A and B are shown apart, each in its own frame.
Chain A
Amino acid sequence: MNLFRFLGDTAHLASILVLIHKMHTTKSCRGISFKTQALYVAVFVTRYLDLFYRWVSLYNFFMKLFFIGSSCYILFLMKTKFRPTQDPAIDTFRIEYLLGPCTVIALIFNYKFSPTEILWSFSIFLESVAILPQLFLLQRTGEAETITTHYLAALGIYRALYIPNWIYRYFTEGVVDPIAITAGLVQTGLYIDFFYVYVTKVLQGQKFELPA
Chain B
Amino acid sequence: QEKHRILHKLLQNGNS
Are A and B genuine complex partners? no
Residues of B whose CB lies within 8 Å of any CB of A are none
Residues of A whose CB lies within 8 Å of any CB of B are none
